[in-house]
Amino acid sequence: MNGWMIFGICMLFIAILSIYKLLIIRWDMKKMARQLKDVNEHFGTNELIRTNSHDQLTSEFSKEINKLIHLYKENERYLEKRETQLRTEITNISHDLRTPLTSMKGFSQLLLDDVPVAKREEYVDIILGKIDLLTNQVDLFYELASILSADYKLEMTSIPLNEIIEEKALLFYSDFREKSIDVQLANMGESHVLANKEAIERILVNIIQNALRYATSYFHLRLEAEDNYLSLYAENDSNDLTEADIADIFNRTYRKDSSRRNGQLGLGLHIVQQLMEKQGGEVEAKLEGEKFSLQLKFYKSIVL
């Protein structure tokens, strides 16, 4: 009889304990539900779900909810940042297209006036220059859109990097000479890399044009073999760049000249970065005093 009584008391104790635990869990779940509702209503805050329960299942549940809240907030912040960037890009694109169009319209109207032949020729030259600028800008936007598309693939082959560097540097030699900029090429021995020829050419043209825009007295290119890759170092002096510029120089929305009086876009180095990444390479920018440098890493190619 005593045995049955003890058994009954034990079962009653277990039942009471189980009910108590269920009530605690239910109370905790209701508390978490209220917290979750508050988080949803005040999403901008850093509030998370808290629980005082020592139940492992409840603790794991609240932990996973907090992970979802964290991921959702991160995504919201990313979307807000991307939306801000998009508005900036639209503003920049509108300005970049409107400026030459406005100029072309103005000079076209002047052609309707009774002006000397010499002036007419001058206005026509200006209009043609603006058309070339506008065409170049549209081409850059199209090129960037193509690079960023998911189906944009590059055929990789063994490329003599030194030959392409020398070819492109020679192409712009007169431009550098006109600006009294000293150009030097170093370590231009036979150097093959695994890359895409058209992408390499675009990268070099953009780097050279960037140097033409900012260099004050020199522009140097040199190759250095490092382990499994080959580095191209592009260096020039500049009194117009700051550390703040270096932090943003590869961004798509970067503009050094916010008014773009010189008609130049800030897409050049962004395209360089995208093309390097598409080929499995890297690009890094540094500023030491007035020396601006780019380091581009290409994978070496074995020539049989």
Digit-coded pLDDT (tens) for 179-231: 999 999 998 888 899 999 988 988 998 899 889 888 999 999 999 988 788 99
Cα 266 to Cα 260: distance, rounded to the nearest angstrom: 9
Fold of 158-299: Heat Shock Protein 90 (3.30.565)
This prediction has a pTM of 0.63
Mean pLDDT of 103-126: 85
| Beta carbons of 233 and 218 less than 8 angstroms apart | no
pLDDT for 262 equals 46
Class of domain 91-148: mainly alpha
Output the average pLDDT for the chain. Answer: 79
pLDDT for 244 equals 80
| Beta carbons of 200 and 163 less than 8 angstroms apart | no
Cα 163 to Cα 189: distance, rounded to the nearest angstrom: 9
Which band of pLDDT confidence, cut at 50, 70 and 90, is reported for residue 265? very low
The CATH 3.30.565.10 portion of the chain extends over: 158-299
Which band of pLDDT confidence, cut at 50, 70 and 90, is reported for residue 259? very low
pLDDT for 253 equals 62
